[in-house]
Amino acid sequence: MSNHEATRTKTPQPASKRKHSVPVALKAYLIAYNVISALDGHTCWASPAHLFNLDGNSDVVEAAQAKTATSVFTRFMTVFSLPKALRILSPNTVESRLPPYLQPIYHRTGSVFSRVGATTAFVQTFAILEVVHALLGWVRSPLQTTVMQVSSRLFLVWGIAEQFPAVRSNPLYTSMVLAWSSTEVIRYAFYAFNLVGMNPYVLLWLRYTTFYVLYPLGAGSEAFLTYATLPSSSPVPGWHSWLRGMWKPADYARAVLFLIWWPGLYVMYTYMISQRRKVLGKAPKTLKTS
């Protein structure tokens, strides 16, 4: 190979680097977006403040009568005819078995929506920008997983909580928004630091470890809130319920979504596990936003 040919083979490298470098204006926008998103973890702070009555006003907020988390689980388990000994989740069982000092906290989970419901809907709708960022290639987040996460949350805030008032006072709504907001505060703070060339190990570890608990908690709450909206007159849809009009087409659609929610959780969960193996096995200085 001649010197001229050798020179030609080396020249594309700087061009490639320039191609993948983030423009200053775009980088500034992404930093601002992530900082604002991290600081706007309203539900992450407002929900615990309400649960522990830190402002003294939580007990004034009343929750409407609704299906409790335990009643939803009980109905789900009776579908599969589990042994009686395993049916420990009956309405009011959890609250009655809690220590007296925890019972008020559990009771307040039914009124969290009145504090954070509107903000949660706004924030999750604003997250459509996440899909735009991934679609335009501004971030390295996989488009498929980003669409799955954003669309599922939009469905929960607008298709479930907005359309079915009963689920708003379900304790599962509280566990769902707590999982969402905790994940987002960590994730956006992590991205913001990463964009300015800083990778605090605490955030790195939290970003790729807390999902072990937060993902199943959030996705499980989402799935069972969806299940709670199904007609209670016929736990398992069949031709009898179809003929009698007990189950509408939308009910069947939500039932299908409940079933496919679990494979979706598996996809997100295994993706994060693989990312954790890759990221935590490298020095923080080599980490890039994904």
Residue closest to 235 by CA, chosen among 260, 255, 221, 219: 255
In the annotation, is 106 catalytic?
A: no
How many helices (H) and strands (E) are present in the chain, helices listed first?
A: 15, 0
Q: How many residues does the chain have?
A: 290
Measured CA to CA, the distance from residue 258 to residue 224 in angstroms comes to 8
Angle value at C-alpha 151, between 128 and 187, nearest 5 degrees:
65
Give the Cα separation of 227 and 8 in Å (integer): 62
Query: Which distant-in-sequence residues (6+ apart) come within 8 Å of 252 by Cβ?
Result: 237
Residue of 222, 227, 266, 269 marked catalytic: 222
> Which is the catalytic residue, given 106, 215, 269, 271?
215
d(CA 199, CA 152): 29
In the residue annotation, 269 being an active-site residue is answered as: no
Q: Alpha-carbon distance 17 to 21, whole Å? A: 6
Enter the DSSP assignment of 63.
P
- Exposed e or buried b per residue across 163-175, where buried means at least 16 C-beta atoms within 10 angstroms of its C-beta: ebeebbbbbbbbb
| Residues annotated catalytic, as ranges | 215, 222
